[in-house]
Amino acid sequence: MENTVNIFLFGKKYSVPDNLTIMRAMEYAGYQLKRGCGCRNGFCGACATIYRIAGDRELKACLACQTKVEDNMYIATLPFFPLVKQVYDIEKIGPTEQIMMQLYPEIYACIGCNACTKACTQELNVMQYIAYAQRGEYEKCAEESFDCVMCGVCSSRCPAGISHPQVAMLARRLNGKYIAPRCGHLEKRVEEINEGTFKALIEDLLGKPVDEIKELYNNREIEK
């Protein structure tokens, strides 16, 4: 029998192997995960989770697929958080400071508590990229928020009601559309794809077994 720990899933006690991630522990305990499980490798943000260790007052946040269980861990998953998502046409807006005021005015109500940064499952400096957004520094905001997986944990802890991931997404779109230099070789490759240059190659790949495709991927020539 493997070493086990006691965890509490939504208030119910389970004894599970101590080498499991929270996600695997949930399945071990009998939960059938149909949602909130995404990629299972720590980067899609679908399995946002909050937990507290018995005797510790601190409420912690993590991704269930990359966090191992601990003894007396009280767990609740947060597969979705209701972020405010404004609708806009990227072709009709520009990288002005006023666009943030228009679409996400709540960012100017930030009280600087830094709860968003402390909660981030990717350890991003969330409060800093919101500060960049406030000042219209979209290139810096895009860079600072680049690894955001939009799990929503930061927003769940925000007393000002800021939808940080959506603010970051707008900044990255503005940066990509209007500020960042154009990527010539990417545009050329997209044009080649649209013209059917790689049609035969794609059809050939689709006909290969998965193991062979994995081998080709793992041994591909990587651009420096």
Tell me the C-alpha distance between 48 and 149, whole Å: 10
Each residue's pLDDT expressed in tens, for the chain with a length of 224 residues: 579 999 999 999 999 999 999 999 999 999 988 887 878 776 788 899 999 999 998 899 999 998 999 999 999 988 788 899 999 999 999 999 899 999 999 999 999 999 999 999 999 999 999 999 999 999 999 999 999 999 999 999 999 999 999 999 999 999 999 999 988 888 999 999 999 999 999 999 999 999 999 999 999 888 76
Domain positions in the chain: 4-77, 97-179, 191-218
Distance of alpha carbon 64 from the chain centroid: 13
Identify the CA nearest to 63 among candidates 177, 152, 172: 152
What fold is seen in the domain 4-77? Ubiquitin-like (UB roll) (3.10.20)
62: CB partners within 8 A, 6+ apart: 22, 48, 49, 51, 121
The sign of the dihedral angle between the CA atoms of 6, 63, 44, 85 is positive
Give the CA dihedral 66, 72, 48, 59, nearest 10 degrees. -120
In 31-163, which ranges are continuous DSSP H helix? 97-103, 115-119, 126-134, 138-144, 153-156
Structure token pair of residue 190: 């997209």
